[in-house]
Amino acid sequence: MSQPDTFQLVQASHLEMAQRWRHHHHAWGGGMPLDLYLRREEALNDGELCRKAMRMWLLKNDCDEILASCETYAAQIWYGEAEGDLNGLKLETVASVLVEPRLRMQGYAGILMQELSSRLKFEGVAGAALYSDVGPGLYRRAGYFLHPSRETVRPVAGEPWPEAADEITLAEVADLIKEEPRHVHSRLAMTSVPAIVEVPNAERIAWFTVRSQFRAWARGQQPPIVIGARGPDGGYMLWATDAGETVLHALLWRPRSPQDAAILAQAAAAQAIDQSLQRVIWWDADRDTGLDPYRAPELQPPNALARDRESSLPMLTWLDEKRPFPLVWAGIERFGWC
């Protein structure tokens, strides 16, 4: 009787990563030329987020053959319980789950996800998140729970940059979001059930900025310098584009007043027009929980439509057995996706 296959989960070397990027281009290139796509992946890999927080994982068999791969990005979340105790915990965002086409439908993706959960739990990671366009059944079998998800969509047409808005560049981001942990604590203090919020950081915003640069080059455009706007009442918004899409994504939405909301939405529309994009989209999975002050009805962008999201659906598996599974995952935004 033949012995059953055994598998190992290992971190990819740089050479192995570069080889996997070619497979990623075939699966998710979005029409971007291969040489430009590989340049983008190298640029992302050289960035601070990837150097500090990204790992590529390979599932190999006894013959050292790569069967499947994925990436994880480390982040910090704050977890709040009914008693008001707040804890900073580790979260890993899973991305780029890929099985070789000739090896699909043989269970390797499921094995990869189970091996990854075991490794992360051993490392003391509280939970793993992912944003699934396909295969929700696979991730549910691996212990992931689908989160209810919505988005706000605003078409754009001929809107000028508002005089009351100031431009934001990447150099200003670190100072801009330094108050985020304090605001996160305030939000969690209002919950009576286990809840988590991910804290934004400048490295992840820079990661999106690099992707936006290559998105512009792929369209034959110069990359935009402006990545956000500040409103007259002190609120702000950060945004980015992505390859293969005609959408400007809101990364962070932080209006302080209805006036801020209207002006920031107009600034985003003007930026979208400048980049030949058709819509602005806000991810707002928890707009109806009451925990996120930026999702209050009076702070929603005007002339926008809220709808159920049909792609990039957020999913979570909870690895920390000492704490209850979070019933609220507040403030899910585009910045949390990689």
Which among 105, 126, 145 is the end of a domain? 145
Q: Domain with 110 in it: what CATH number?
A: 3.40.630.30
Q: Tell me, yes or no, whether 330 lies in a domain.
A: yes
Same domain, yes or no, for 131 and 277?
no
Range of the domain at 24: 8-78+94-145
**DSSP character string of 31-54:** T--HHHHHHHHHHHHHSHHHHHHE
- pLDDT recorded at residue 136: 63
Q: Both ends of the chain: CA-CA distance in Å?
A: 44
Same domain, yes or no, for 296 and 230?
yes
Whether residue 253 is predicted with pLDDT greater than 60 in this model: the reply is yes
Q: Tell me, yes or no, whether 3 lies in a domain.
A: no
Same domain, yes or no, for 327 and 180?
yes
Tokens matching residue 223: 């990359």
Residue whose tokens read 């002190």: 234
- pLDDT recorded at residue 115: 95
Q: Compute the distance between CA of residue 295 and CA of residue 277 in angstroms, rounded to an integer.
A: 24
Residues 149 and 131: beta-carbon distance below 8 Å: no
For the segment 159-181, the average pLDDT, to the nearest whole number, is 94
Q: Tell me, yes or no, whether 24 lies in a domain.
A: yes
- pLDDT recorded at residue 2: 41
Q: Compute the distance between CA of residue 79 and CA of residue 109 in angstroms, rounded to an integer.
A: 29
Task: Write the pLDDT tens digit of every residue in 186-245.
Answer: 878 777 888 888 889 999 999 999 999 998 898 888 888 999 999 999 999 999 988 678
Q: State how many domains the chain has.
A: 2
Which among 126, 145, 164 is the end of a domain? 145
CA angle 76, 129, 151 (to 5 degrees): 100
Q: Tell me, yes or no, whether 311 lies in a domain.
A: yes
Same domain, yes or no, for 208 and 277?
yes
pLDDT > 90: what percent of the chain? 57
Same domain, yes or no, for 267 and 159?
yes
Same domain, yes or no, for 174 and 249?
yes
Same domain, yes or no, for 135 and 208?
no
For the chain, give the mean pLDDT.
Answer: 89
Residue whose tokens read 């706000």: 152
Same domain, yes or no, for 210 and 287?
yes
Q: Tell me, yes or no, whether 87 lies in a domain.
A: no
pLDDT > 70: what percent of the chain? 94
- pLDDT recorded at residue 152: 92
Q: Tell me, yes or no, whether 1 lies in a domain.
A: no
Q: Tell me, yes or no, whether 245 lies in a domain.
A: yes
Same domain, yes or no, for 263 and 134?
no
Which among 122, 145, 168 is the end of a domain? 145
**Alpha helices by DSSP H, the chain:** 14-28, 34-46, 48-53, 108-122, 136-141, 173-176, 180-188, 202-218, 258-274
Q: Tell me, yes or no, whether 89 lies in a domain.
A: no
- pLDDT recorded at residue 3: 42
SS3 content of the chain, % helix, strand, coil (to 5): 35, 30, 35
- pLDDT recorded at residue 286: 63
Nearest 10 degrees: Cα torsion 18, 19, 24, 30: 70
DSSP 158: S
Task: Write the pLDDT tens digit of every residue in 127-141.
Answer: 999 988 765 678 888
Same domain, yes or no, for 141 and 203?
no
| Cα–Cα distances in angstroms (integers) from residue 5 to residues 8, 64, 107, 111, 185, in the given order | 10, 12, 12, 11, 47
Same domain, yes or no, for 194 and 258?
yes
Task: Write the pLDDT tens digit of every residue in 17-64.
Answer: 999 999 999 888 878 899 999 999 999 999 999 999 999 999 998 888
Same domain, yes or no, for 154 and 17?
no
Residue 52 CB neighbour total at 10 angstroms: 11
Task: Write the pLDDT tens digit of every residue in 254-276.
Answer: 999 999 999 999 999 999 999 88
Task: Write the pLDDT tens digit of every residue in 83-114.
Answer: 656 778 999 999 999 998 888 888 899 999 99
Residue whose tokens read 């584009």: 241
